[in-house]
Chain A
Amino acid sequence: LIFSFQALMGKPYGSLPRKTVPRAEEASAMNFATLWDFSGFAQYSVLFYGYYNNQRTIGWLKFRMPLSYFLVGVGTIGYSFMIVIRTMARNANEEGGGDDTSFNFSWKMFTSWDYLIGNPETADNKFASITTSFKEAIVEEQESRKEENIHLTRFLRVLANFLALCTLAGSGYLIFFVVRRSQKFALEGLENYGWWERNEVNMVMSLLGMFCPTLFDVISSLENYHPRIALRWQLGRIFALFLGNLYTFIIALMDEINLKASYLLPFIIFNMHLEEEKIVKYNMTIWEASLYNGTIPENSTAPPIQVDPADVPRGPCWETMVGQEFVRLTVSDTMTTYITILIGDFLRAVFVRFFNYCWCWDLEYGFPSYSEFDISGNVLGLIFNQGMIWMGSFYAPCLPAINVFRLHTSMYLQCWAVMCCNVPQERVFKASRSNNFYMAMLLFILFLSTLPAVYTIVSIPPSFDCGPFSGKTRMFEVISETLEHDFPSWFGKVFGYASNPGLILPFILLMVLSIYYLNATSKSYKEANLELKKKLQ
């Protein structure tokens, strides 16, 4: 949305200092390497935060750019919250209704064939779906029937959890170690080392992300859970793995300022940046003075000198840097996914198919058989991708567009991969029943991703030289400015009264009480429902 307005109405490229590439960097701006790194030319494009002017209005519509940027950002996040919660509520409704399990098998047997079918293909599909339905019901029945040796099962489960914890700890330690090493390399100058050392941290994190989930899968076979519950444990463990890796990474970086990728890095960047800002401001005044041939007039009434915008010295722009990091992260994530699919699934399938003839044991049934369709991995990948987008979209407004493009392509690629190289899981179960669980994870990630953005809005001053909020002490001052200038004065007064804590606290209390009340009534309705059902029998 913002992108289109700016493109339509903002001044064209090149007319404002902020919109052009500084001359020093022009030489390398179009190199593919820098382009790939999303610096250079791409840095100063619409993709990133720094492009947007801080004028109050743009063009003939007097479009309020800063205000709209802010509101769109906040609005997107709020909208996402609402959608997730609404979907969860709808799913909860559906699940509650279909709970009648008496005569389950009988009905499946006697009423599942549709006598109206007159087409052989439809008949085939119907046979397949009936078979799948029976298999699911059988799996459920077997799970509920298992005579468990309780002690053995418990022991195995404890053992499995212990192994999982060891793996998590191991990966955390590995990351810590690698980050320390990379800091050591950085101190000695990056040119002495090859590609591996330079990208060691990223590579290690990606590799961990690829291999640990498989390890968790192996561990979970010890536990002998129902497939749906096993899936949830798997997801939970992978989630813990990623979070743990992230936090270890940040902690390892805390004591040294190192400008590599991290989610919560803005604090670190910001401290350095404040120093830089002062230096640049000082330089700018000196530079302007040099333009006037040495004199520093108090009231400059001289006509503005035509300066090529590319020559104006630029202040550092931390928001753009953060945005860049996010975009880089998304792109590298995309690449990793594609490569994993191609290597993990496709090459494996080709290998199994062609080398089966000249191999000692039967490749198709034994170890590297065709890969199963991995529900948990894919779902988590999607959820994390979405989390990254939410975090990054405030700083790089075009990120959602890039992501839509990426999702389209990866959908087609994965569709093809599934059709040609995957086999379905052996135990059939309906993963879609766990809908609410996935939605809950999504909600959690949404919450986590909005925390950094909200924090930066509320407490960090924006850079003085870039972005729509420059010049203000806090980003949300846009709202107060709007209130002062544009709305009638009584509105401002009312708002002032309404934001008094004495009014807000009772309001919050009221909401908590109403939540409790609604919860209680819904429980009582459910019980009444069950009673009525029993009476009908």
Chain B
Amino acid sequence: MGNKQTIFTPEQLDAYQDCTFFTRKEILRLFYRYRDLAPQLVPLDYTDKPDVTLPYELIGSMPELKDNPFRQRIAEVFSEDGDGNMTLDDFLDMFSVLSEMAPRDLKAYYAFKIYDFNNDDYICKSDLEKTVNKLTRNELTPEEVSLVCEKVIYEADVDNDGKLSLEDFQHMIVRAPDFLSTFHIRI
């Protein structure tokens, strides 16, 4: 396999390899996946760094993401504009963090941002309630939801401010046995 591709300059490819956990082949493969979402929007030549953003609806319809209850939050966290519309860089970033090569602390950081629905750098009770409802598709009664959220805060809140900071969250999540295996998307 030579350097026959004309999509990226060699410097760009090297930069991508440094910033993400992917190899050259994987980056190219991901580019084609990105392009397949909207071939008319994405040019085949990225050497001049075009400013192309795919709307959230296209991202959320990818087979890897469409069944995930948190897909909107994932797209919002990794997108530049915070609305879920992703450039190629955001796209590569997202799948890199969610791949199995990413270290635990990095994943914990991004998981925290995903579950922080109101973006105030704390997971408060309303964030927890939204999470539970997304997980159970609103099948629990409000009392049950409230009980669960109180228990979570009771268990994980170390600094006793009634909400989870990044440190509380990390302290709790790195001890979880299946965090790495569940917080993983293969593409």
Instruction: Give chain A's interface residues, CB within 8 Å of chain B.
Output: 102-107, 109-120, 122-123, 127, 130-131, 134-135, 137-138, 141-142
Give the residues in chain A near B172, CB-CB below 8 Å: 103, 106-107, 110
- Cross-interface CB contact of A130 among B66, B67, B136, B173, cutoff 8 Å: B136
Known: A103-B156, A119-B67. A131 touches B184 (CB 8 A): no
Question: In the complex the two chains form, what is the Cα distance from A115 to B110 in whole Å?
Answer: 14
| Contact pick for A138, options B131, B144, B155, CB 8 Å | B144
Other-chain contact of B136, A105, A116, A118, A127 (Cβ < 8 Å): A127
Binary A-proximity of B156-187 (CB < 8 A = 1, otherwise 0): 10000000000000001101101101111110
Whether a CB of chain A sits under 8 angstroms from the CB of B111 is: yes
B55: which A residues are within 8 A, CB to CB?
none
Q: A113–B70 contact, CB under 8 A?
A: yes
- Closest-by-CB residue of A relative to B186 is A116
The answer to whether A109 and B131 touch across the interface, beta carbons within 8 angstroms, is: yes
**CB <8 Å contact, A115 and B152:** no
A115, B176: Cβ atoms under 8 Å? no
The interface of chain B, by Cβ under 8 A from chain A, is 63-64, 66-70, 98, 111, 115, 128, 131-132, 135-137, 139-140, 144, 147-148, 151-152, 155-156, 172-173, 175-176, 178-179, 181-186
B173 to chain A: closest residue by CB = A110
A and B contact pairs by CB, cutoff 8 A, 29 listed:
A102-B155, A103-B156, A103-B176, A105-B152, A105-B155, A106-B172, A107-B172, A109-B148, A110-B111, A110-B115, A110-B173, A110-B179, A112-B135, A113-B70, A113-B135, A114-B181, A114-B182, A115-B98, A116-B185, A117-B68, A119-B67, A131-B136, A131-B139, A134-B132, A134-B135, A134-B144, A135-B140, A137-B148, A138-B140
User: Once the chains bind, are A115 and B183 in contact (CB under 8 Å)?
Assistant: yes
CB–CB A135/B182 < 8 A: no
Give complex CA distance A104, B156 in Å: 10
A109 & B128 in contact (Cβ 8 Å cutoff): yes
Please, which residues of chain B bring their CB within 8 A of the CB of A138? 140, 144, 147-148
- Asked if A111 and B148 make an inter-chain contact with CB atoms under 8 angstroms apart, the answer reads no
Query: What is the CA–CA distance of A52 and B144 in the complex, to the nearest angstrom?
Result: 65
Q: A515: shortest Cβ distance to chain B, in Å?
A: 35
**Given A103-B172, A109-B152, A110-B111: A120 touches B67 (CB 8 Å cut-off):** yes
Known: A110-B111, A113-B182, A138-B148. Contact between A118 and B176, CB under 8 A?
no
Shortest B174–chain A CB gap in Å is: 11
Q: Main secondary structure on chain A at its contact with chain B?
A: helix
Q: With A109-B128, A113-B68, A117-B67 as known contacts, state yes or no: A134 contacts B179, CB within 8 Å.
A: no
Known A105-B155, A118-B66; 13 more pairs at CB < 8 Å? A104-B151, A106-B155, A106-B172, A110-B115, A110-B172, A111-B178, A114-B181, A115-B98, A116-B186, A118-B63, A127-B136, A131-B136, A134-B132
* Residues of chain B contacted by A118 (CB below 8 angstroms): 63-64, 66-67
Cα(A130)–Cα(B69), bound, Å:
13
Give the residues in chain B near A115, CB-CB below 8 Å: 68, 98, 182-185
Q: Are A134 and B156 in contact (CB under 8 A)?
A: no
B182 to chain A, nearest CB (A): 5
**What's the Cα separation between A117 and B186 when bound, in Å?**
10
Complex CA gap A123/B137 in Å reads: 11
Q: Are B147 and A141 in contact (CB under 8 A)?
A: yes
What is the CA–CA distance of A114 and B115 in the complex, to the nearest angstrom?
15
Q: Which residue of A lies closest to B156 (CB)?
A: A106
Asked if B184 and A116 sit within 8 Å, CB to CB, the answer is yes
